Amino acid sequence: MNSAEITHALRKNLIDSIIEVNSPDNTHFEALIVSDQFIDKTRLKRHQIVYECLGDAVGNEIHALSIRAFTKEEWDKHKLCKS
C-alpha cells in the first residue's frame, strides 16, 4: 500500500476533508486529516475513525501510522499559531 492508496481509502469515508499522507518507505506513514467529522470526538475516537477507514491494512501493509486529526476550526487555529 502506498500514500496515494491510503489517501484514496480515507477520502472515500471522510468526505470534504483535507487529507495528506506521506511515507519515506511505503511502510511507515504520516497522515494529516482535517475533517468536521471529528467535531466533538476525542483523540482516541478520531484515530479509531481513521483506522476503520483503512480496515485490515493497519498492522499489515501499514506497519506504522502517525495520525494528526483536526477539525477545520482547530486546523485554522493551528495554522495561525504557526505563522
Per the structure, the count of domains in the chain is 1
How many other C-beta atoms lie within 10 A of the C-beta of residue 69?
A: 22
Helix (H, G, I), strand (E, B) or coil at 22: strand
pTM of the model: 0.90
Sheet with 18-22: list strands edge to edge: 18-22, 28-34, 64-70
Structural domain containing residue 43: 3-82
Give me the pLDDT at residue 83, please: 62
pLDDT in tens, 33-43: 999 999 999 99
Retrieve residue 1's grid coordinates.
500500500
Q: Are 46 and 69 in contact (CB under 8 A)?
A: yes
Look up the CATH number of the domain holding residue 61. 3.30.300.90
Under the banding of pLDDT at 50, 70 and 90, the label for residue 78 is confident
